[in-house]
């Protein structure tokens, strides 16, 4: 939780009387001066854990280091006060009215609490806040809640006692003989919990589960309170492990903890061995519910692989005296026989990277303790792992750490870098969006090759390219097809196949997928320009004209001819969009009190579109052209008169090409509200050296920079172009209808402009014979 900005608080509440004030730590508060109906004191005090039945209190447990208070009224946060001055193990708050719900939190450092805290935060969001981090110790915090509206009238001093927010674990030793606890570990513990009590004890979905070691110095030789602390959680996998020496003999015990661990509760872990017992027992008792779980160790010895009864593939190694199996990265199946005098069953574990099932056929020594292990192939990029397959004696609830077979799972020798990330289940990377260019780099073992395969009817959108200077290394490139008629957002997949270069054996398949989106484009002087202006949400493909639904192409016309012949409604849908600032949300031309304006125009815009990153407003794979790329069209040796057709010559020829032809036309039939808009110009520009290319057709509304709207000098054609230019330069059509001309002008932050994107540079272009 971030601390609320004090400047914001002062600005928001500086003109209001304070709802609460800190009482002086030295001022007597039992009798509050003044009208008790107008002034109340909330006395906040800390509390320790309830110790009845436990090993006792922990020194300093009631110590308070910081207190924060939060007031919610009508379900919204209206006031916050952090680091209140302390008086002993608490503090006093003076309120001038009793309304809302007051929350007080002690010893909860803001960096451990989730989510930002600011005025207007809903009480629902506040109640869902979590505390803790995977790499941080459990916070020793307390909380309290007070419904101010329920405080009896006339109460001068209202007590609020805080409740501990964590669970405490104590160690109790009941051993006849010498004992030394060398390690105390909580296993599978959630490292975050809810800051405030929930309706039912629960674990936050995002909580990371790790081991929690003892919070006190080891070894321990006597009863010890506060050995470890946990956040409240519902956790079926929570366990405790104690490593001890009893009468000089090492002993490791492990047992289950209660499924629900509540705040403000003490859980006592007892290590027990009576004088005449041969076994050591471990029990866990939650103070207040009396439940316990015993663990009796099996002193028979460790489990090993029975190689005579097992069926083990040749590429699986038995190691460590039969306690370990080393598996290759490939798909593997083993029939494992475990040497044990008693019958065993597998202890199920979550997120196991393999399956283990019992296949024993009977209770005789030859038929029992048979298990089939199946492991899928490990994908490239997945690390090697060590997995314990744990067993327990049939009929017992507990198991011992030594009752296990260790599996060492080798990593795939193929290395992959970049955006590709395959799991060990589906072997797939689905980007869920449009991507192109380099997706990943594979480094293969000697003798392997990588190729791409495609389903029936799918384009070859992925290319595998060897890296010349790096043997056995291949780049995987995602490609782009100009004006792809299938680019409607469909899922586009390919298979990457690793196999033997010699005979195609040892085949591994991995799927990559993206969403195939595309905008209609036209080529001009080395740039694939989009044919149409952006519209709607400029970043969203679904709002744009797609290459799979290009209305001009579907009509068999160039865009220039389509704009002349389409209906007024179709023309308005293309023509009437412009953008302001960095939101990417398009504005449409509307009639506002008889004035043509951009709907949603604001004089408060402070972001200059041209200074944004080139791809800040575009869909994936597209961007605003640079000033230099616009210059390949507009930067002429003389005026470009946009109200006339003709030709112009570029100052800087592009690869020797400098002549650009122009044609212009006008629409006079567009009606917006009560307004009839006339002389709406569209201009086609094409290179005379590439007569077969359509070129670029420019259209769109004039810029708006104040309340006067988009009409300037009696017309609507003073178009301002969005240009990627960190220094803020740009292009603009200036002048009246009799002298419309191109000029360099980047304008300001408030000016609206049309957005005409280009295809971002792409290394691999497919689907056309001439990729330019």
122: containing domain = 6-164
Task: Indicate whether 533 and 663 sit together in one domain.
Answer: yes
pLDDT at 9 over 60: no
DSSP labels, 623-667: EPPBHHHHHHHH-BSS--BTTS-EEEEEEEEETTEEEEEEEEEEE
Task: Indicate whether 540 and 683 sit together in one domain.
Answer: yes
Confidence of residue 149 (pLDDT cuts 50, 70, 90): confident
Task: Indicate whether 196 and 288 sit together in one domain.
Answer: yes
Q: What are phi and psi of 333, to 5 degrees?
A: -130, 130
**Inter-CA distances, 319 with 285, 292, 316, 401, 406, Å:** 40, 38, 10, 18, 10
Instruction: Flag the least confident range among 12-26, 313-327, 438-452, 536-550.
Output: 12-26
pLDDT at 279 over 70: no
Task: Indicate whether 146 and 174 sit together in one domain.
Answer: no
**Would you mind telling me the total number of residues written for the chain in this entry?**
772
Q: Tell me what the mean pLDDT of segment 387-404 comes to.
A: 76
Task: Indicate whether 593 and 730 sit together in one domain.
Answer: yes
pLDDT at 347 over 50: yes
Residue 120 lies in a domain: yes
Could you tell me which residues come within 8 angstroms of residue 274 by beta carbon, excluding any fewer than 6 positions away?
176
**Residue 139 is part of a domain; what is its CATH number?**
2.60.40
Per-residue H/E/C for 194-210: ECCCCCCCCCCCCCCEE
Is 577:545 a contact under the CB 8 Å cutoff? no
Could you count the other beta carbons within 10 Å of the beta carbon of residue 746? 21
Residues 537-585 have pLDDT tens digits of 999 999 999 999 999 999 999 999 999 999 999 999 999 999 999 999 9
Question: What integer pLDDT is reported at residue 393 of this predicted model?
Answer: 77
Instruction: Flag the least confident range among 153-162, 615-624, 693-702.
Output: 153-162
Cα distance between residue 64 and residue 228, in whole Å: 19
Residue 522 lies in a domain: no
Domain edge (last residue) among 468, 485, 517: 517
| Higher pLDDT, residue 331 or 299 | 331
pLDDT at 410 over 90: yes
pLDDT at 611 over 90: yes
pLDDT at 446 over 70: yes
Residues 708-748 have pLDDT tens digits of 999 999 999 999 999 999 999 999 999 999 999 999 999 99
Cα distance between residue 586 and residue 20, in whole Å: 46
Instruction: Flag the least confident range among 289-293, 460-464, 529-533, 762-766.
Output: 289-293
pLDDT at 82 over 90: no
| Higher pLDDT, residue 762 or 299 | 762
Residue 769 lies in a domain: no
Q: Tell me what the mean pLDDT of segment 163-168 comes to.
A: 94
Q: Quote the mean pLDDT of the chain.
A: 88
Q: Tell me what the mean pLDDT of segment 104-120 comes to.
A: 86
**In the Cβ-directed half-sphere of 218, how many Cα atoms lie within 13 Å?**
17
How many folded domains does the chain comprise? 5
Confidence of residue 424 (pLDDT cuts 50, 70, 90): confident
**Residue 474 is part of a domain; what is its CATH number?**
2.60.40.10
Instruction: Flag the least confident range among 198-212, 284-298, 508-522, 529-543.
Output: 284-298
Minimal CA–CA distance to 366: which of 300, 318, 306?
Answer: 306
Question: What integer pLDDT is reported at residue 119 of this predicted model?
Answer: 78
Domain edge (last residue) among 409, 427, 451: 409
Question: What integer pLDDT is reported at residue 167 of this predicted model?
Answer: 94
Residue 770 lies in a domain: no
Residues 647-663 have pLDDT tens digits of 999 999 999 999 999 99
Task: Indicate whether 703 and 565 sit together in one domain.
Answer: yes
Residue 447 lies in a domain: yes
Task: Indicate whether 66 and 140 sit together in one domain.
Answer: yes
Question: What integer pLDDT is reported at residue 296 of this predicted model?
Answer: 38
Instruction: Specify the residue for token string 């122009």.
Output: 662
Task: Indicate whether 356 and 480 sit together in one domain.
Answer: no
pLDDT at 183 over 80: yes
Instruction: Flag the least confident range among 385-389, 448-452, 627-631.
Output: 385-389
pLDDT at 25 over 80: no
Question: What integer pLDDT is reported at residue 31 of this predicted model?
Answer: 29
Q: Tell me what the mean pLDDT of segment 412-435 comes to.
A: 95
Residue 14 lies in a domain: yes
Question: What integer pLDDT is reported at residue 292 of this predicted model?
Answer: 35
Task: Indicate whether 585 and 688 sit together in one domain.
Answer: yes
Cα distance between residue 403 and residue 303, in whole Å: 6
Question: What integer pLDDT is reported at residue 30 of this predicted model?
Answer: 32
Residues 589-599 have pLDDT tens digits of 999 999 999 99
Strands in 76-81's sheet, in edge-to-edge order, are 76-81, 67-73, 101-106, 142-147, 163-164
Task: Indicate whether 65 and 136 sit together in one domain.
Answer: yes
Residue 470 lies in a domain: yes
Task: Indicate whether 319 and 187 sit together in one domain.
Answer: no
Domain edge (last residue) among 482, 497, 517: 517
Please give the structure tokens belonging to residue 687.
Answer: 């290179």
Residue 669 lies in a domain: yes
Could you tell me which residues come within 8 angstroms of residue 414 by beta carbon, excluding any fewer than 6 positions away?
380, 442, 443, 444, 445, 448, 498, 508
Task: Indicate whether 379 and 467 sit together in one domain.
Answer: no
Please give the structure tokens belonging to residue 169.
Answer: 């674990």
Question: What integer pLDDT is reported at residue 399 of this predicted model?
Answer: 63
Residues 191-241 have pLDDT tens digits of 999 999 999 999 999 999 999 999 999 999 998 999 999 999 999 899 999
């Amino acid at each position: 939780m971030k601390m609320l900005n004090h400047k914001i608080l002062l600005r928001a509440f500086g003109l209001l009387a304070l709802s609460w004030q800190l009482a002086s730590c030295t001022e007597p508060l039992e009798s509050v001066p003044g009208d008790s109906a107008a002034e109340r004191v909330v006395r906040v005090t800390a509390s320790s854990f309830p110790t009845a039945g436990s090993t006792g209190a922990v020194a300093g447990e009631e110590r308070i280091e910081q207190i924060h208070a939060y007031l919610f009224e009508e379900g919204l946060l209206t006031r916050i006060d952090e680091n209140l001055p302390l008086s002993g193990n608490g503090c006093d708050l003076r309120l001038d009215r009793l309304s809302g719900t007051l929350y007080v939190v002690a010893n909860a450092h803001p960096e451990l609490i989730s989510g930002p805290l600011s005025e207007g935060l809903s009480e629902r969001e506040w109640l869902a806040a979590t505390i803790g981090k995977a790499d941080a110790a459990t916070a020793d915090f307390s909380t309290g809640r007070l419904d101010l509206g329920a405080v009896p009238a006339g109460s001068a001093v209202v007590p609020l006692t805080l409740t501990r927010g964590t669970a405490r674990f104590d160690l109790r030793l009941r051993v006849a003989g010498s004992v030394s606890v060398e390690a105390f570990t909580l296993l599978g513990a959630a490292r975050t919990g809810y800051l405030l009590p929930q309706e039912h004890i629960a674990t936050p979905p995002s909580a990371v589960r790790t081991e929690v070691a003892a919070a006190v110095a080891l070894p321990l030789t006597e009863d010890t309170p506060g050995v470890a602390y946990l956040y409240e959680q519902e956790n079926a996998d929570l366990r405790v492990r104690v490593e001890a020496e009893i009468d000089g003999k090492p002993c490791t015990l492990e047992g289950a903890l209660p499924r629900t661990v509540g705040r403000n509760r003490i859980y006592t872990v007892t290590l027990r061995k009576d004088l005449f017992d041969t076994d050591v027992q471990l029990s866990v008792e939650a103070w207040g519910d009396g439940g316990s779980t015993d663990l009796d160790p099996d002193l028979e010895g460790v489990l090993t692989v029975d190689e005579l009864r097992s069926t083990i593939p040749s590429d699986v190694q038995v190691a460590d005296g039969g306690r370990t199996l080393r598996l290759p990265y490939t798909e593997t199946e083993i029939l494992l026989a475990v040497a044990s005098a008693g019958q065993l069953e597998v202890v199920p574990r979550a997120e196991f990277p393999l399956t283990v099932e019992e296949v024993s056929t009977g209770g005789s020594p030859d038929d029992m303790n048979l298990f089939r292990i199946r492991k899928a192939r490990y994908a490239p990029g997945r690390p090697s792992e060590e997995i314990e397959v744990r067993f327990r004696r049939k009929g017992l609830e507990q198991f011992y750490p030594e009752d296990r077979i260790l599996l060492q799972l080798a990593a795939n020798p193929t290395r992959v870098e970049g955006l590709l990330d395959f799991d060990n289940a589906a072997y797939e990377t689905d980007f869920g969006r449009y991507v192109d260019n380099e997706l990943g780099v594979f480094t293969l073992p000697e003798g392997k090759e990588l190729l791409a395969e495609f389903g029936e009817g799918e384009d070859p959108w992925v290319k595998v390219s060897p890296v010349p200077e790096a043997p056995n290394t291949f780049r995987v490139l995602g490609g782009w097809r100009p004006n792809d008629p299938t680019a409607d957002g469909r899922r586009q997949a390919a298979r990457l196949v690793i196999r033997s270069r010699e005979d195609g054996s040892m085949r591994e398949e991995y799927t990559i997928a993206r969403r195939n989106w595309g905008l209609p484009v036209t080529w001009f002087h080395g740039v694939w320009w989009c044919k149409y202006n952006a519209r709607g949400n400029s970043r969203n493909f679904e709002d744009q004209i797609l290459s799979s639904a290009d209305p001009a192409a579907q009509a068999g016309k160039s865009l220039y001819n389509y704009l002349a012949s389409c209906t007024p409604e179709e023309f308005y849908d293309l023509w009437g969009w412009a953008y302001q600032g960095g939101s990417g949300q398009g504005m449409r031309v509307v009639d506002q009190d008889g004035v043509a304006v951009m709907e949603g125009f604001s004089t408060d815009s402070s972001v200059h579109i041209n200074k944004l990153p080139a791809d800040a407003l575009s869909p994936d794979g597209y961007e605003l052209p640079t000033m230099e790329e616009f210059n390949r069209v507009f930067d002429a040796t003389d005026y470009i008169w946009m109200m006339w057709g003709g030709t112009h010559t570029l100052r800087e020829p592009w690869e020797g090409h400098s002549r650009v032809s122009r044609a212009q036309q006008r629409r006079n039939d567009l009606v917006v509200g009560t307004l009839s808009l006339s002389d709406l110009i569209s201009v086609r520009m094409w290179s005379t050296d590439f007569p077969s290319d359509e070129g670029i057709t420019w259209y769109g509304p004039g810029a708006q920079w104040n309340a006067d709207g988009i009409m300037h000098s009696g017309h609507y054609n003073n178009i301002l172009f969005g240009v990627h230019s960190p220094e803020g330069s740009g292009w603009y059509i200036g002048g009246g209808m009799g002298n419309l001309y191109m000029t360099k002008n980047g304008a300001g932050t408030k000016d609206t402009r049309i957005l005409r994107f280009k295809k971002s540079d792409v290394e691999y272009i497919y689907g056309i014979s001439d990729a330019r």
